[in-house]
Amino acid sequence: MKRALLAFGLLGLSACGPTIGDPCTTGQDCGPGVCVNRDFAPGGYCSKNCASGCPAGTICVANVLGDGNSGCMRACKQATTDCRPGYLCAVVGHSATAVCIGPAGL
């Protein structure tokens, strides 16, 4: 029984991974995504190109990845519960949905 619980626990941890908006230093921190290190992303920001769509709870925002490339950002309703510390919940670009973004804005 203990081995089954241990195996289940390890399996659960291996299914976890970085999500959009997580802090990062390099792309390796973001699994298959990219690490955005720009003024609006203090501490790095895991994202991914929007070309294949964005995961649930995120939206596509223009020029997040630089050079005109759109990237997925974490959607939010309020910074205190939806965004990591140091990030604001704000509308950027032409979107009607707010995203978690650093205080420098986009």
| Per-residue pLDDT at 95 | 79
Give the start-end residues of each E strand in the chain.
34-36, 45-47, 58-66, 69-74, 88-90, 99-101
The mean predicted confidence, pLDDT, of the chain is: 84
What integer is the mean pLDDT of 32-56?
A: 94
Domain locations along the chain: 16-101
Q: Is 55 helix (H, G, I), strand (E, B) or coil?
A: coil
Is the whole-model pTM more than 0.85? no
26-35 pLDDT per residue, tens: 999 999 999 9
- Closest by CA to 58, choosing from 28, 30, 25, is 30
Where does residue 11 fall: left (phi above 0), alpha (psi -120 to 50 degrees), or beta otherwise? alpha
